[in-house]
A and B are shown apart, each in its own frame.
Chain A
Amino acid sequence: MSLLATTIGFLIQTLAVASIYILVAIGLSITLGTLKFVNFAHAAVYLAGIYIGLAVALELPFSGDIGRSIGLGEVGLGLGFLAALAVIPIISFGLGLLMERFIARPFYDRPDTDQILVTFGVLLIVQEVIRGLVGGRSMTFTRPEWAQGAVGLGPLGTFARWRLAIIAITAVLVFVVYLYIEYTDVGLAVRAGTEDAEMVNLLGVRVTRPFLLIFGVGSGLAGAAGVVSGPVFSVVPEVGIGVLVPAFLVVVVGGVGSLVGSVVGGLLIGAVEVGLQMGAPTWASVGIYALAAVVIMLRPAGLFGVVEVDK
């Protein structure tokens, strides 16, 4: 009984932690697979998702140096999290398109190191702008009323509602993206492009537009991840790269360009992290790297990786 409750608690927590990693990792994995583009600025979209999401849902104190000097005080729409959840993925999608057009595209023909450097710089700028506007101290936000408290699942125990909400939202989003990639022409071009972008080009398929769209979709997911994680973690401007590193690990473990890989990788990383948090808390943050190291040594392409990204 108690064992069952522990197991189910473990599973739910794993799913909740994995959800955020998966949502962020999918975008990274797709851009890495199709465009061979390492996008550190993906975390900037996640950050935007958190902060814009909080401004839409609640009120955000603008207490940074720049924010104070403009005299913004507390600004927010206070529309609640459902509104934020509806709006932010669309905004993030737009941000993704802008990012592809104006940051990524000029760098497709430059060395990989330049791509990484410029996206790292963009992440740094976004992070510091947020610090300037909102301030660097960590903030916690109340969860929406409908997701507060716990829900009882009979003999299985009680679980935080927000956690269940995150899992449900992620499941829906991932399923929609799965359908999009599997059953649309854009998805077909993306899948083909992941296998061999050059060949798809030679066959006369214009991959620019599908790649642009999928870049936007990945960004939309990262934005959604930001919204759902806002009320869970204490929010500081550094959480962007804080989530980027595990998300990269998910891509490394799962394999590049594979949606299934991202989901499985995310679940594995989540399980290791949550499991260690329960069993050996001091090792919790180390375990996921050890897992990645083992996968790298045994299966360099990742569990579901088909393509070797070696530009």
Chain B
Amino acid sequence: MSDAAEAPTGQGHSEAGDLVARWDAFRQREAFPAIAAIAFVILFPLVFTNLPAYNGYMSLVELIYIWAIFAIGFNLLLGYTGLLSFGHAAFWGAGAYAAGLFSVAISGDPLIMVVVAAVTAIVLAVFLGVLSLRRGGIYFAILTLAFGQMMYYIALGPLGAITGGEDGFTGVSVDPLFGVLEMGAEFAGVLGVLLHDVGYVMFASFFVLAIVGAVRIVRSPYGTIFRAIAENEQRVEFLGLHVWRYKLAAFVLSAAFAGVAAGLHTVHARYVAIASLYWITSGDIVIMAVLGGTSSVFGPILGALAFLYVENIVSGEIAFWLLILGVLFVTVVWLFPSGLWGLVSAMRTAVRRRLLEGRP
């Protein structure tokens, strides 16, 4: 086993090298993303809500998971397929409204609300995808932006009577999970410390599922084709694959993530703002993904965390936080295209090198 670790450095057997090799083997395992994600959702709130200076709060932790799901899905499109959508607010907003309406009209079961939101987003994505993918390349960003705004104006104008127009959709009624578990019901004892309440378990579970699902997609042959399209569309075409169909699939897939996240957000906020359909929401998700780094599944999670932290905590101190985010965003695009996650990877590589070079 230790041969693999020794080979690249050409050094003798060391305990550190052994450790790195074992860690690598563990990381390659199929269950690794799930284990890492579960460890994360248990540890993260404990750290995040007890930060020494500007600490977060539980509700923000849940919000971070929800937006992270959205960002992970968005990045399947941007980072892996190389398509930049400026209209993902359409899926986020449509899913959120669908979940809200469904909770009032038919059933307020949180799980069913999420399913309804996801299905709505998927159906809409097929429709908008066919329109937006009609022209290739740089047109895609323009068309998604335009049709995203169209959804905003539809909700504001013609559908205003249903959506509540400018006031947003109020009166979302969320039932207990499975009819018995209140979302706010807290656990007792150790479970209470680790898993908090029913709502947290639900949001965290979806977050873990999103990570596992996205990693599975990315590592599958299908995901490899997404990446090939980002690299060189023409060559994929020459291989005899129908590029357009894969693009649409990536678009719909990312919209499904957005829909799930939107449904969760409606359950969480019990309100749908008209702003959820506005281009600013599309811009936010672009910023999150790019800031975090688009070359991995984990980058956008980091981006969502950073964005929401600045938006909710730092904004209390600094009024022009969005300006700071904008400058940060341009800096990342310009100089550090691998984003915050790139920073993490670089540190990881440095630590590895130190371990492998085996300082005595």
A284 within 8 A of B: yes
B131 touching A124, Cβ below 8 Å: no
B279 touching A241, Cβ below 8 Å: yes
B131 touching A297, Cβ below 8 Å: yes
Among B63-71, B150-158, B218-226, B352-360, the stretch in contact with A: B150-158
CB distance from B281 to the nearest CB of A (A): 13
B147 touching A289, Cβ below 8 Å: yes
The main secondary structure of chain A at its interface with chain B is helix
Tell me, in angstroms, the Cα distance from A168 to B200 when the chains sit together: 61
Quick one: which of B82, B149, B154, B326 contacts A121, CB cutoff 8 A? B326
A300 within 8 A of B: yes
Tell me, in angstroms, the Cα distance from A298 to B111 when the chains sit together: 41
A310 touching B137, Cβ below 8 Å: yes
Chain A, residues 63-87, CB within 8 Å of chain B (1/0): the string is 0011000000000000000000000
Among B114-122, B206-214, B298-306, B316-324, the stretch in contact with A: B316-324
Which B residues from 139 to 198 make CB contacts under 8 A with A? 139, 141-143, 145-147, 149-150, 153-154, 156-158, 160
Chain A residue numbers with a CB within 8 Å of B123 are none
A116 touching B84, Cβ below 8 Å: yes
Tell me, in angstroms, the Cα distance from A283 to B150 when the chains sit together: 10
Interface size class for chain B?
35 or more
Chain B residue numbers with a CB within 8 Å of A124 are 283, 322, 325-326, 329
Tell me, in angstroms, the Cα distance from A308 to B136 when the chains sit together: 9
A232 within 8 A of B: no
Chain B residue numbers with a CB within 8 Å of A296 are 131, 134-135, 143
A38 within 8 A of B: yes
Tell me, in angstroms, the Cα distance from A125 to B324 when the chains sit together: 8
Tell me, in angstroms, the Cα distance from A113 to B158 when the chains sit together: 33
Among A92-100, A143-151, A244-252, the stretch in contact with B: A244-252
B154 touching A32, Cβ below 8 Å: no
The main secondary structure of chain B at its interface with chain A is helix
**If the complex has contacts A38-B141, A125-B327, A285-B157, are A120 and B286 also in contact, measured as CB distance less than 8 A?**
yes
Quick one: which of A241, A252, A311 contacts B137, CB cutoff 8 A? A311
A204 within 8 A of B: no
Tell me, in angstroms, the Cα distance from A296 to B153 when the chains sit together: 19
A117 within 8 A of B: yes
A284 touching B142, Cβ below 8 Å: no
Among B20-28, B255-263, B330-338, the stretch in contact with A: B330-338
Residue of A nearest to B290 (CB): A117
B146 touching A248, Cβ below 8 Å: yes
Chain A residue numbers with a CB within 8 Å of B153 are 285-286, 289
Chain B residue numbers with a CB within 8 Å of A129 are 323
B157 touching A283, Cβ below 8 Å: yes
B142 touching A113, Cβ below 8 Å: no
Tell me, in angstroms, the Cα distance from A293 to B17 when the chains sit together: 59
B131 touching A293, Cβ below 8 Å: yes
B273 within 8 A of A: no
B323 touching A117, Cβ below 8 Å: no
B31 within 8 A of A: no
Which B residues from 244 to 290 make CB contacts under 8 A with A? 279, 283, 286, 290
Chain A, residues 270-297, CB within 8 Å of chain B (1/0): the string is 0000000000011111100110110011
A248 touching B323, Cβ below 8 Å: no
A113 touching B84, Cβ below 8 Å: yes
Residues of A whose CB lies within 8 Å of any CB of B are 32, 36, 38, 65-66, 106, 111-118, 120-122, 124-125, 128-129, 131-132, 241, 245, 248-249, 251-252, 281-286, 289-290, 292-293, 296-297, 300, 308-311
- Provide a sorted-by-A list of 16 A–B residue pairs whose CB atoms are within 8 angstroms: A38-B141, A112-B137, A113-B78, A120-B86, A122-B330, A124-B283, A124-B329, A125-B330, A128-B326, A131-B323, A132-B323, A245-B146, A286-B154, A296-B135, A309-B135, A310-B135
Residues of B whose CB lies within 8 Å of any CB of A are 78, 82-84, 86, 131, 134-139, 141-143, 145-147, 149-150, 153-154, 156-158, 160, 279, 283, 286, 290, 319-320, 322-323, 325-327, 329-330, 333-334, 337
Chain A to chain B: the 10 pairs with minimum beta-carbon distance, closest first: A289-B150, A121-B330, A128-B323, A285-B153, A282-B157, A124-B326, A125-B326, A113-B84, A65-B319, A310-B136
